[in-house]
Structure 1
Amino acid sequence: MCLIHPTYFPNIAHFVAIVNTNLLCFESHDNYQKQTYRNRAEIYGANGKLALTVPVSYTQKQRQLYKDVRIYNEDKWQLQHLKSIQSAYRMSPFYEFYEDDLMPLFETETNFILDFNLKCFEILCECLQIDSNYQLSSSYEKIIDLEHDYRVLVNPKNKLVFNFENYTQVFTQKHGYISNLSILDLLFNEGPNTINYLEAQTLNL
């Protein structure tokens, strides 16, 4: 079993863990924490790495469970994110191939960040043509007896190093290769080969 957080357009490390497990469990009963991939994805824009952050209604003084945190939809963030993604990837080989599949995520409001991230995951699984079956955790356990507890991946401050294979990116000649971006970067650049790439990588945590 793999225990992992559902995140906003998960990065490649998350998906390497997901495709290489036979049973997927999403952590849904932990306390929400700011500045994590729960509400942030990183893409490759014309000026280098670009973070897309979903605004949420949350303050550190009022502890909330991840599943209870609401998205702040008044900011019209979906349109901003869509424009950023289009600008970054419209010249990539497979952007037009997946554009219509992803569009519902930017056209329909969702109230809770956990629910939205699960929608992202399900649509990405459709794009990858893989099984989207998963279960949600029933309670939070800080220490759990599992071989694959990948909850550490949700926090970018952990500075984990991944030795993933390079693949062709749109702006490599301008800024070099950037590793472990959102799965969108891999999907738009590698298309149907994405799943083969993910299955060939390993996580050494």
Structure 2
Amino acid sequence: MSIILHPTYFANIAHFTAIANTNEVVFEAHDNFLKQTYRNRSYIYGANGKLALNIPVIYTQKNRQKYKDVKIFNEEKWQSAHWKSLLSAYKTSPFFEYYEDDIKPLFEKKAEYIFDFNMNCFEIICECLQFEVNTSFSEAYHKDIENVSDLRQLVHAKKEPDYTFESYTQVFDEKHGFIPNLSILDLLFNEGPNALNYLENQTLSL
């Protein structure tokens, strides 16, 4: 069955587990933007534990905005800061250098819209995973959807279930233990070509 998801910033393991185990992904393209979601947030494993990377956006709660119309606030040097955080977190991981040249350009070229930037991230990750999936975009917003598995709730960063994903070796796990459901980047840099096999063998419990 097809699934429907929100494009998110370097989507987490839950998102990619769902994506790796379906035939088609429909991306929600007509929802309103909400703060405190994975639309502009991603979590990585830093030296001090779980670290949030937030993309600043030009958005006000007073005027409802479509997600696809929200612009990135590029006055803040967020790309440079995020790349430095990734370097600090993963430069000693087994596969960082292997994928560095694919990922780094996303932090060098300015992006105008958060939706478009997230789609670029998704496409690059699929290339790194050597994974092909059929994708499409919703044509209108519908609260209830038939014939598609609705996983749009995965976008909420504050309302997560306790996922029981299989552990894998992480750079700082001797300090803080295994941290589940981080950004796909954590899995990619630590597991490399085995990342897709890992995703295909996980079960998404909601």
With the shorter chain as reference, the TM-score category is over 0.9
1:62 matched to 2:63: yes
Partner residue, 2:54: 53
Aligned-residue identity in percent: 63
Q: Whole-Å Cα distance in 2 between the matches of residues 203 and 50 of structure 1? A: 23
Q: Deviations over 1:87-111 (max 9, x none)?
A: 0000100000000001110111110
Q: Deviations over 1:98-147 (max 9, x none)?
A: 00001110111110000000000000001000115411111000111245
Moved more, 106-115 or 146-155: 146-155
Q: Whole-Å Cα distance in 1 between the matches of residues 134 and 82 of structure 2? A: 27
Q: Whole-Å Cα distance in 2 between the matches of residues 58 and 196 of structure 1? A: 38
Aligned AA (1:87): S
Partner residue, 2:160: 159
Q: Whole-Å Cα distance in 1 between the matches of residues 23 and 184 of structure 2? A: 20
1:122/1:132 contact within 8 Å kept: no
Q: Whole-Å Cα distance in 1 between the matches of residues 159 and 187 of structure 2? A: 22
Paired residues for 1:1-205 under 5 Å: 1-205=2-206
Aligned AA (1:10): A
Unaligned runs of 5+ in 2: none
| TM-score normalised by the chain length of structure 2 | 0.97
Unaligned runs of 5+ in 1: none
Aligned AA (1:100): D
| TM-score normalised by the chain length of structure 1 | 0.98
1:89/1:95 contact within 8 Å kept: yes
Displacement, 1:62? 1.0
Q: Whole-Å Cα distance in 2 between the matches of residues 174 and 33 of structure 1? A: 34
Q: Would you identify which runs of 4 or more consecutive aligned residues in structure 1 move more than 6 Å?
A: none
Number of equivalences: 205
Displacement, 1:156? 1.6
1:5/1:154 contact within 8 Å kept: yes
Aligned AA (2:109): T
